[in-house]
Amino acid sequence: MKLYNTLTRQKEEFVPIEEGKVKMYVCGPTVYDYIHIGNARPYVVFDTVRRYMEYKGYEVTYVQNFTDVDDKIINRANKEGTTMTEISTKYINEAFHDADGLNVKRASVHPRVTEEMDLIIEMVKELEDKGHAYAVDGTVYFDTKSFPEYGKLSRKNLDDLIAGASDRVTLDEAKKSSTDFVLWKPKKEGEPSWASPWGDGRPGWHIECSVMAKHHLGDSIDIHAGGEDLVFPHHENEVAQSEACNGVQFAKYWLHNGFITVDNEKMSKSVGNFFTVRDIASHFPYEVIRFFILNGHYRSPINFSDELMKACQNGLERIKNAKKELRFYIENTADSAMTEEEVAQSVELGKYKEQFETAMDDDFNTADAISAIYELVRFTNTGVKAGVSKAYAVAMEDMLIHLCDVLGIAQAEEVAVDEDAAKIEELIAKRAEAKKAKDFAAADAIRDELSAMGITIKDTRQGVQWFRG
């Protein structure tokens, strides 16, 4: 399995630190609002990486944090006349609601900054003791010049960064170098704070992830992931903090997802061009949002549009209909073993799996993996029409379910949950009665009524089948 490592800027064979195990940390959202579809991308993409790792037999420990102390959360709390904790608790719950809808598996641990404060203070202290940090009037800075490898992840040169910064007005006079960043900042009136050796205050953003990764996964981890906007400065600073403190390589592989854009501009809260997952979920099922995200390669930008969402909805329906058709066929076909010809053909079935795995082994190319599923769908549709044996239909269904599950798409529950199901079944029964009584006008009228509900029906040898679309 190869993955593209931002650290080395190339695709590398994945070799875990400890055989059979994967330790993975993914930067989570700052919880002051509903997550937008841009935030949903790392959720879905790295959940899929995790699922594929598990599929390959690895035992994955997956950590995704919540940033629950931040200026944005405090501002929102002040605006609404409530507390930071109330805001963060509300939006953590909302984030879980959306993540569940997107079929994102819960992480092994979802640490929150407020629950890790002692360890954060401990790490800042250790950095200070080791000469990598200095305190000025209650603010503690990381001394970037004390870490010669600073810039290795984002491929930035420290001297260039310093020269670049000197062109701008530096507001923070206390810093030894313009590239130094805050590990701990002093309390401001009316803001939440914690006691520390440098006085009451709260942590800077970057230190939290170094601490939570160390706490829940150890000093060295296999994979660290997040959106590409995090490479610099967030991840660069994490590398500096963790490696300066722990003296070992922090993360072996760095994975970064590309942006979701609107009109080719990054979707972001600050620009105001964002759509929350919740908004979109009121127009399209959650599963379509997941499918939309997996339709592109995770490192390529995806431009969000209604047309693309609709195309994805149709694509997903195609897969779901094939699954449904197979299930219907299996349930309504008498037991029969595979013919000799089918036994030979079942090798063909394995080819789709191979094609799928080849795509996923190549830096998690979910777009090509979905193409393999589409091809399998064509194959099963043809098989069902040609009247294959029940055993062969079961083998086809197994393969389709197997591959869809790796991507977390076209899940069985979604198919089963159709609020109109009872009504649809009733109409289909009435239509059958009408046809039996040779009242074809009534039968056609029922078909039209179903069609108006977005339901297509199909008369097959096994009985009447219905599906959406």
Residue 209's binding partner out of Zn ion, ligand AMP, none, with CB under 5 to 8 Å set by partner kind: Zn ion
CA distance 302 to 161: 30
Cβ(180)–Cβ(135) under 8 Å? no
Contact with ligand AMP (CB under 6 A) among 226, 296, 315, 408: 226
Q: Is 29 in the site for ligand AMP (CB under 6 A)?
A: yes
Binding track, positions 245-264, relative to ligand AMP; x by CB under 6 A: ------------x-xx----
CA distance 69 to 114: 7
Contact with ligand AMP (CB under 6 A) among 5, 7, 22, 38: 38
State which residue, 299 or 468, has the beta carbon closest to ligand AMP: 299
Query: Which residue in this structure is represented by tokens 């799996």?
Result: 353
How far out from the chain centre does Cα 376 lie?
25
CA distance 62 to 68: 19
Q: Is 94 in the site for ligand AMP (CB under 6 A)?
A: no
CA distance 309 to 189: 46
Scanning 160-168, 193-201, 209-217, 460-468 for contacts with Zn ion by CB under 5 A, the matching segment is: 209-217
Scanning 77-85, 194-202, 223-231, 282-290 for contacts with ligand AMP by CB under 6 A, the matching segment is: 223-231
Contact with ligand AMP (CB under 6 A) among 23, 41, 202, 216: 41
Q: Is 229 in the site for ligand AMP (CB under 6 A)?
A: yes
Scanning 24-32, 167-175, 206-214, 307-315 for contacts with ligand AMP by CB under 6 A, the matching segment is: 24-32
Helix axes 306-331, 366-385, angle to 10 degrees: 40
In angstroms, give the least distance from the CB of 186 to Zn ion.
23
State which residue, 70 or 143, has the beta carbon closest to ligand AMP: 70
Contact with ligand AMP (CB under 6 A) among 25, 42, 242, 391: 42
Q: Is 204 in the site for ligand AMP (CB under 6 A)?
A: no
Question: 235: Cβ–Cβ under 8 A, 6 or more apart, which residues?
Answer: 153, 154, 224, 226, 254
Contact with Zn ion (CB under 5 A) among 22, 24, 27, 102: 27
Q: Is 209 in the site for Zn ion (CB under 5 A)?
A: yes
CA distance 429 to 142: 72
The dihedral formed by the CA atoms of 428, 433, 438 and 439, expressed in degrees to the nearest 10: -70
Cβ(405)–Cβ(105) under 8 Å? no
DSSP 429: H
Q: Is 309 in the site for Zn ion (CB under 5 A)?
A: no
CA distances from 227 to 40, 76, 252 (A): 10, 24, 17
Which chain residues interact with ligand AMP by CB under 6 A? Answer: 27, 29-30, 38-39, 41-42, 226-227, 229-230, 257, 259-260, 266-268
